[in-house]
Amino acid sequence: MNKQQIFKKRPVGAANASTWSLETNPIPELEEGQVLIKNHYISLDPAMRGWMNEGKSYIAPVEIGAVMRAGSVGEVIKVKNHPTFKEGDFISGHGGVQQYVATDGKGYYKVDPKLAPLPTYIGTLGMPGMTAYFGILEVGKIKEGDIVVVSGAAGAVGSIVGQIAKIKGCKVIGIAGGADKCKYVVDELGFDACIDYKNEDVKQRLKQECPKGLDVYFDNVGGEILDAALGRLRMHARVVICGAISQYNNKENMRGPSNYLSLLVNRATMQGMVVFDWADRYGEAGQQMGKWMAEEKLKTREDVYEGIENFPETYNRLFSGEKLGKLVLKVVED
């Protein structure tokens, strides 16, 4: 049997346990050209909240009654004349929050558990890592000596963004919630400084850490922190809009930036980015980040929880801040 988290209703504000229903259904029968995957790990990402909304976006919303969308990595356990995958292959794609998935393999790619642990392929070597890599290099256009500020610095994307910026010779200031996260960002990840937005005045600390302003702001949170960063832009600064986690659960309209005229004064740019636009270059990014990991220049951390039945409470850790690094749910039963 196949345990699945089925999307039941579109949330208003924060999602809760009633948003999904844990159901047990038969493992699907394979059609010609399909493979059956036993999911081992499920990726939990802030983008999931946007996927639940009805309306125009960069990807179609999850349909009511469908398995909740999620990135995944697992093992091929059955094949029916598939041209690419065979039994025993480990592959990653969007398998959803379920134990088993039958698929034609479109959008999936092979991974090697001997080169890196499976959770890494839905973290640093998966969508969050790709987002960080292309966001800071292609959209942020960092260069040596730049002053880079990253919000959500202890999270799956922000932690990689800051490390790549350090590798490229930038000064990097993180913004995170709580003393423990800030200590992790500085002591373990090597950021130059980290601002605790829960206990410090972000505007004042930015002024201290960036007395001459900042060149690149990589935004994962939106709201007041985005406004504070806009107030510190240097000439020709770049603002990368990756996410706005502080705004996703609003019951009313999102709060837009009030400091946007700083873009005009400083001839700066603010650009949104969606990682799928670089899908044809994922291999390039994976190779480079794998090399940095082997050289111990890039650290990765996954925060792993267990049990598909615990998906709703694990998902909520994305917004409560009760996690460090990449949030992952282990669904395979040993």
pLDDT in tens, 129-179: 999 999 999 999 999 999 999 999 999 999 999 999 999 999 999 999 999
Measured distance CA(48)–CA(70) in Å, rounded: 7
pLDDT exceeds cutoff 90 at 255: no
Distances 334 to 38, 40, 331 between C-alpha atoms, Å: 12, 10, 9
Residue 127's pLDDT band (boundaries 50, 70, 90)?
very high
CA quadruple 303, 309, 313, 316: dihedral sign: positive
Q: What is the CATH number of domain 127-276?
A: 3.40.50.720
- The torsion angles phi and psi of 107, rounded to 5 degrees, stand at 85, 0
Taking CA atoms, 142 is separated from 124, 148, 233, in Å, by: 19, 8, 14
Computed over every residue of the chain, the mean pLDDT equals 95
Listed residue (98, 73, 78) closest to 4, CA to CA: 98
Mean pLDDT of 192-209: 97
- Output 57 or 114, whichever has higher pLDDT: 114
**Residue range 298-312, pLDDT digits in tens:** 999 999 999 999 999
Ordered by start, the domain boundaries in the chain are 2-123+301-330, 127-276
**pLDDT of amino acid 74:** 97
Asked if the model's pLDDT at residue 123 lies above 70, the reply is yes
End-to-end CA distance of the chain: 15
User: Would you state the pLDDT for residue 246?
Assistant: 79
pLDDT of res. 250: 72
What is the pLDDT, as a whole number, of residue 334? Answer: 59
- Evaluate if residue 314 carries a pLDDT over 90: yes
pLDDT in the model for residue 333: 72
Q: Taking each helix axis from N to C terminus, what angle separates 202-209 and 223-230, rounded to the nearest 10 degrees?
A: 30
Question: For residue 236, is pLDDT > 90?
Answer: yes
pLDDT 10s digits, 85-111: 999 999 999 999 999 999 999 999 999
Instruction: Give the largest Cα separation in the chain, rounded.
Output: 63
pLDDT at residue 77, as a whole number: 97
Q: Average pLDDT in the 270-286 region? A: 94
Fold match between 2-123+301-330 and 127-276? no
Q: What is the fold, at CATH topology level, of the domain defined by 2-123+301-330?
A: Quinone Oxidoreductase; Chain A, domain 1 (3.90.180)
63-78 pLDDT tens trace: 999 999 999 999 999 9
Percent of the chain having pLDDT more than 70?
A: 99
What confidence score (pLDDT) does residue 269 get?
98
The secondary structure of residue 98, as a DSSP letter, is B
Is the torsion defined by CA of 48, 155, 106, 138 positive or negative?
A: positive
Q: Is the pLDDT of residue 317 over 90?
A: yes
**Which among 120, 30, 139, 26 has a CA at the least distance from the CA of 73?**
120
By DSSP bridging, strand 233-241 and strand 214-219 are parallel
Cβ-count burial of 96 within 10 angstroms (0-12 exposed, 13-18 middle, 19+ buried)? buried
Long-range contacts of 51-57 (CB under 8 A, 24+ apart): 52/7, 52/10, 52/11, 52/15, 52/19, 53/10, 54/10
Of residues 55 and 223, more confidently modeled:
223
